[in-house]
Structure 1
Amino acid sequence: MNRIRRLWSRLRRITKINLILGTVFTLVAAYVGLTAYFGTASQVRYASNDFPGAKKAATAFLRLSPLQRHIGYFNRGTAEAAVGDYDEAQADLEAALEIAPTSAECAVRINLSFVYEKQADEISSQDPDQSQELYDRSLKTLDEAPEECQPKKSEEKQKSEQAKDRVEDKKKGEQAKDDGTDDSDSSGDSQDEDSKDQESDDKSSDGDGKKSEEENSDQSDDSNESEGRSEREKKREELEKRGEDSDRQQQQQGPGGNGGRSSPDKPW
């Protein structure tokens, strides 16, 4: 009888231990599964153009997962960039860059460079100096990418080179606009000076021959200036056209391009 009681007591203890272990295992499995679900859901929703849903899923992943948090920051920042929330995207992608492993760093840098580029585009007409700084930051972000994550002839390398060319074209186009403005101002000043000189010459008692010579020289100077301006205008128009072509290409490739219809590849 005592043996039966001892055996029953042992079975009860074993059953309790198994129940506790089973409950813990179930909770851990549910936690891991839920975390993986939100990590995958953020990418799937982004690919289906559900950018608010992608952002919510990435936020849930960040709340749950203590590991690979760069995935959550990257996915959320990319979704924010797709809808034009560039300031929020900048914060998330910079956070992702700080903790991303080398293998994932290039993808983060490409999207972060895109955000800097779009921020520069938005303020190019209001603050050209700040716009140039953002273009420089965009290029620097790409230039500092480690070789390990962008081997030669890889897709990451190709995307990085395309982004560099696009930003360089935009930067040169903005510089050409600024140079054209400065040139027009200086030419206007020179024309005012020429008109003042001509008035003083009219009031002087010099002969008609001297006046005609000065007028001829002024006309030749004006023709040279007009030729110089036309060349600068042609150069500026060419750079602006290249910038527009780069924008069209960007809409087909970058995050948020064509309303965010194409998602950048992720290395995980």
Structure 2
Amino acid sequence: MNRITRTWSTMRRLSRINLIIGSALLLVFGYVAVTLYFGAASQVRYVSNDFPGAKKASTAFLTLSPIQRHIGYYNRGTAEAAVGDFEMAETDLESALEIAPLRDECAVRINLSYVYEKRADEVADQDPDQSDELYDQSLKTLKDAPKECQPKKSEEKHKSDEAKKRVEDKKAGEKSKQEGSDSDDTDSSEDEDQQNGDSGDDSKKDEKQDSGEDDEKSDDSEGKSEKEKKREELKKRGESSERDQQQQGPGGQGGRSAPDKPW
């Protein structure tokens, strides 16, 4: 009888232990499953253009997951950039860059460069100097990428090179616009000086006409045309780049219409 009682007690203790272990494992499994769900949901919702939903899922992932947190910051920053919330996107993507392993760093840099580029686009007309600084920051973010995350002929390398060319073209286009504006101001000033000058000296005009004024004008126009050609070329590069970018993806806001999709 005592042996049966001891056996029964042992079985009850083992059952309790197994129940506790099973419950703990179930909780761990549920925690991992929910964390993975939110990580995957952020990508699925982003691809389906549910950017607010992607942001919420990324925030939930960051709340739950103690590891791979750069993925949460990257996904949330990418969703914020897609809806034009570039300041918050910049903060999240910079946080992702600080903790991202080398293999993932290039993807973070490409989207962070995109955010700097879009911020530069926004202030290009109001503050050309700040715009130029942001374009430089965008280029530096790409150029500082380690070789480990973008081997030759890889997709990351291709995307990075495309982004560099796009930003360089935009920067050149903005520079040409600024130079054109300065040139127009200078021309206006020169016209005013000519109008305010001595217009009654007919003899000097006659001398200019007799001494081959047409040749001088031809030389001047040739000199100006070279400068204008360079400016026009830069301007066309910027306009062509902007036109191509606006045709890409939903929204068409210059540059890529949205950053690369999250993980």
* TM-score (norm. length: structure 2): 0.88
What is aligned with 2:44? 44
Check the 8 A contact 1:51/1:80 in 2, yes or no.
yes
User: Offset at 1:193?
Assistant: 2.4
Taking a change above 3 Å as real, the CA distance of residues 168 and 262 of structure 1, as seen in their structure-2 partners, is closer
User: Alpha carbon RMSD of aligned pairs, Å?
Assistant: 2.7
Listed as ranges, the matches of 1:55-134 within 5 Å are 55-134=55-134
| Partner secondary structure for residue 17 of structure 2 | helix
Q: 2:184 aligned with 1:213, yes or no?
A: no
Residue 245 of structure 1 is aligned with which of 237, 240, 243? Answer: 240
Listed as ranges, the matches of 1:223-262 within 5 Å are 231-250=226-245, 258=252
User: Offset at 1:70?
Assistant: 0.6
Structure-2 separation of matches of 1:193 and 1:82: 51
Taking a change above 3 Å as real, the CA distance of residues 253 and 12 of structure 1, as seen in their structure-2 partners, is farther
Residue 264 of structure 1 is aligned with which of 254, 260, 263? Answer: 260
What is aligned with 2:13? 13
User: Offset at 1:245?
Assistant: 3.0
Structure-2 separation of matches of 1:68 and 1:185: 55
What is aligned with 1:189? 189
Structure-2 separation of matches of 1:139 and 1:148: 18
| Partner secondary structure for residue 173 of structure 1 | helix
Check the 8 A contact 1:70/1:97 in 2, yes or no.
yes
Check the 8 A contact 1:135/1:167 in 2, yes or no.
yes
Structure-2 separation of matches of 1:16 and 1:65: 30
State the one-letter code of the partner of 2:193. Answer: E
Check the 8 A contact 2:116/2:135 in 1, yes or no.
yes
Check the 8 A contact 2:82/2:258 in 1, yes or no.
no
Structure-2 separation of matches of 1:233 and 1:247: 21
Taking a change above 3 Å as real, the CA distance of residues 130 and 263 of structure 1, as seen in their structure-2 partners, is closer
| Partner secondary structure for residue 67 of structure 1 | coil
Unaligned runs of 5+ in 1: 203-207
Check the 8 A contact 2:43/2:261 in 1, yes or no.
no
| Partner secondary structure for residue 264 of structure 1 | coil
Aligned length, in residue pairs: 260
Taking a change above 3 Å as real, the CA distance of residues 13 and 143 of structure 1, as seen in their structure-2 partners, is same
Listed as ranges, the matches of 1:155-166 within 5 Å are 155-166=155-166
User: Offset at 1:253?
Assistant: 6.3
Q: 2:173 aligned with 1:173, yes or no?
A: yes
| Partner secondary structure for residue 198 of structure 1 | coil
Structure-2 separation of matches of 1:261 and 1:232: 33
Structure-2 separation of matches of 1:155 and 1:196: 62
* TM-score (norm. length: structure 1): 0.86
Structure-2 separation of matches of 1:130 and 1:227: 34
What is aligned with 1:30? 30
Deviation string, structure 1 residues 81-116 (Cα, Å, up to 9, x no partner): 111111111111111101100000000000000010
User: Offset at 1:230?
Assistant: 5.2
State the one-letter code of the partner of 1:129. Answer: D
